Amino acid sequence: MKRFFYLTESFQEPADYTVTPNELLKFDTQHPELNSQEFWYNISNYQAPDDYLPTYSSIRQNEHGLFILASNDFASCVAGGVLAGDYNFNNFVTSDFKSAKFTAVHKNNLLDLCYLNDITFVATTASNSMEMYSTKAPVTLEKENHQEIFCFIKISSKITEGRVTCLSQFKRKNRLITGTSKGHFECYEYDSKELFLSFSLPYGHSMEITGISTHPSIDLNWASTSHDKSCLLWDRRQVYPTISLIDNHHDQLTDVKWLKDEIIILSDAAGNLMVFDTRNDQIPMTKINVLDRKINSLNFHKSNKIFGVISDSCNAYIYKIDEKNELKLIHEHNADPNVLNSLCFDVKKPNTCYVVGDGKYAKEITFTQDNE
């Protein structure tokens, strides 16, 4: 016996369905056209979270004092993150996400953030992508008080060859270089609307690139560290590294910072800090042991005289580097039992920095440079 299914009747619009005008369709959350790109880019980007996620992964601040925070839940079986922005750091401390200037749900875990300028930043994700956002583009919706609603606007998104593990801006401000988990370098140029891949250098290292820092005065020159235990200096005009500062270190190198024209500071997985002169490689000028754990990142103040050390521990260390390139510990912060993930210095207060970590941990730290 044949049975016929009348598909046209099965998929009829319900009697109570109200047609939304085309100009409002992209803002309609009751009957969204899910196949529409207008819905995807205008609604999903502005979705507010229910709360911050348990792990604060990265914190950054621009010249106007606007903080951006990335939070994740790495214990969940569903990947996802939350981006938040606020001028008041205490809103992150109290997890008061409703008081934040703007928030947005992300479909991937967020790894790191970096401001490109006062209104634009990039976010790296665990799904091998890098996304550029703007913080000054208002939504065209209006509330009852007819005030603009501010939120994150995704400007551009790029798929990368491996997970982006580190990035740095060149002296020419509209250029950015990244290092990936596959050992590749990728250089991008950007404007207010798009990220453009300028060049790529595959397999610059044989293992994951852990740190990258551009030359403070020469454009298209940079230094890099990797899990292959090497630190290399690069010039864009050459395919191969110009100098192999370290060939085979006894531990994996984890981060690098090019301080001056000839001075570079490195960190390794054994908890050591090393200062090198590029004119006399293989022999560090200064070497100190911070702790017996892996150092994850070096976070410098804009003056390049003070920097914070974040490791696989509950402690954050603030160091000062003097004119003789010697390192001096000026403050130590303990966040036990929370592991710290990120640190940034205040742009207006020279003796203040902020740390975030697991368990929604956020803390403002005040220190004295004289180690009193």
Instruction: Reply yes or no on whether the pLDDT at 282 is more than 60.
Output: yes
Instruction: Reply yes or no on whether the pLDDT at 372 is more than 50.
Output: no
Distance CA 35, CA 112 (A): 30
Instruction: Reply yes or no on whether the pLDDT at 36 is more than 50.
Output: no
Residue 10 domain-assigned (yes or no): no
Name the strands in the sheet holding 361-366, side by side, starting at the edge strand that comes first in the sequence.
Answer: 340-345, 352-357, 361-366
Token pair 């409002």 in the structure block, residue: 24
Structural domain that includes position 87:
23-159
Residue 56 domain-assigned (yes or no): yes
Residue 66 domain-assigned (yes or no): yes
Instruction: Reply yes or no on whether the pLDDT at 14 is more than 70.
Output: no
DSSP for 111-176 reads EEEEESSSSEEEEEETTTEEEEEESS-EEEEE-TT-PEEE--EEEEEEE-SS-EEEEEE-SSTTEE
Distance CA 47, CA 32 (A): 14
Q: Of 33-37, 47-51, 287-291, 330-334, where does mean pLDDT reach its minimum?
A: 33-37
Residue 133 domain-assigned (yes or no): yes
Instruction: Reply yes or no on whether the pLDDT at 361 is more than 50.
Output: yes
CA trace torsion 103, 107, 109, 112 (10° rounding): -50
Residue 315 domain-assigned (yes or no): no
Q: What is the pLDDT of residue 41?
A: 44
Instruction: Give the tens place of pLDDT for each residue, 227-260.
Output: 999 999 999 888 889 988 988 899 999 999 999 8
Residue 211 domain-assigned (yes or no): no
Residue 358 domain-assigned (yes or no): no
Instruction: Give the tens place of pLDDT for each residue, 131-186.
Output: 998 877 444 444 444 444 455 678 888 999 899 999 999 987 789 999 999 999 99
Burial group, residue 280, by CB count within 10 angstroms (0-12, 13-18, 19+): exposed
Which is nearest to 41 in space by CA: 137, 127, 184, 114?
137
Mean pLDDT, residues 29-53 taken together: 51
Q: Rounded mean pLDDT of the chain? A: 83
Mean pLDDT, residues 18-44 taken together: 50
Provide the CATH number for the domain around residue 144: 2.130.10.10
Residue 205 domain-assigned (yes or no): no
Instruction: Reply yes or no on whether the pLDDT at 59 is more than 90.
Output: yes
Number of domains in the chain: 1
Which is nearest to 124 in space by CA: 136, 116, 112?
112
